[in-house]
Chain A
Amino acid sequence: DQQVKQNSPSLSVQEGRISILNCDYTNSMFDYFLWYKKYPAEGPTFLISISSIKDKNEDGRFTVFLNKSAKHLSLHIVPSQPGDSAVYFCAASVRSGGYQKVTFGTGTKLQVIP
């Protein structure tokens, strides 16, 4: 049972344009949603997160939007740069004891074309 789904395995965008990566989830108990970025031969790195009580969080060129009624979140990258080319994992977490149990999606490979 895939609780976090990324239905687009890949995405190509021209440099300077907007990249929109999408993610759907099924568990209404998730209280944080996150995006991780992964370059080849490296571990994932935390990019941006949003609490379930908010609908938008912005950090520079990156904005995450949360639509709880639709159980959907998206990551917007504006403007896209070649260095943004990577695999992006959507993740969601729920409190379990004193830590957050994190569930990952399958990833979307973003290619930004110069």
Chain B
Amino acid sequence: NAGVTQTPKFQVLKTGQSMTLQCAQDMNHEYMSWYRQDPGMGLRLIHYSVGAGITDQGEVPNGYNVSRSTTEDFPLRLLSAAPSQTSVYFCASSYWGQGSEKLFFGSGTQLSVL
């Protein structure tokens, strides 16, 4: 069971570079989301999607773009990386409706922006 798969596991960028963090799930979950984890800040929601073609902003969306063309994939794009985006990024998915409070997380991407 693959669950939620994130790539890459580690990435170093220079300020101003762009990149895409990949996330795929094989559980047919309608809901997918991206969180960032920073020391002392917990997990903060960046963007989320409730189905293919539907996305919305979370708590800290600035500097990030998302799209959802399929149920399985939910990539996170950094258009022009900044040092403030140095963080650990987690993708999560869940069922729609009953039980949707139970999130399934990927193993994370550690991103450093120099």
Binding site for B on A (CB under 8 A): 4, 6, 9, 32, 34, 36, 41-46, 49, 89, 93, 97-100, 102-107
Q: Are B101 and A105 in contact (CB under 8 A)?
A: no
17 extra interface residue pairs, beta carbon distance < 8 Å, beyond A43-B108, A98-B97, A99-B96: A6-B42, A34-B102, A41-B107, A42-B108, A43-B4, A43-B90, A43-B92, A44-B90, A46-B104, A49-B102, A98-B96, A99-B30, A99-B31, A99-B94, A100-B100, A102-B45, A106-B41
B43 interface residue per 8 A CB criterion: yes
- In the complex, which of the residues A4, A6, A45, A99 has the most CB atoms of chain B within 10 Å of its own CB atom? A99
Contacts of B103 in A (CB 8 A): 36, 44, 46, 102
- In the complex, what's the smallest C-beta–C-beta distance from A92 to chain B, in angstroms? 9
Q: Are B90 and A100 in contact (CB under 8 A)?
A: no
Complex-state Cα separation, A41 to B90, whole angstroms: 11
Q: A43-B4, A43-B108, A106-B40 are in contact. Are A34 and B50 (CB under 8 A)?
A: no
Q: Are A44 and B107 in contact (CB under 8 A)?
A: no
| Among candidates B41, B44, B50, B107, residue contacting A43 with C-beta atoms closer than 8 Å | B107
Q: Are B42 and A105 in contact (CB under 8 A)?
A: yes
B34 interface residue per 8 A CB criterion: no
Contacts of A6 in B (CB 8 A): 42
Q: Are A107 and B100 in contact (CB under 8 A)?
A: no
Q: Are B102 and A44 in contact (CB under 8 A)?
A: no
Complex-state Cα separation, A56 to B90, whole angstroms: 29
Q: How would residues 49 to 89 of chain B score, 1 for a CB under 8 Å from any chain A CB and 0 otherwise?
A: 01000000000000000000000000000000000000000
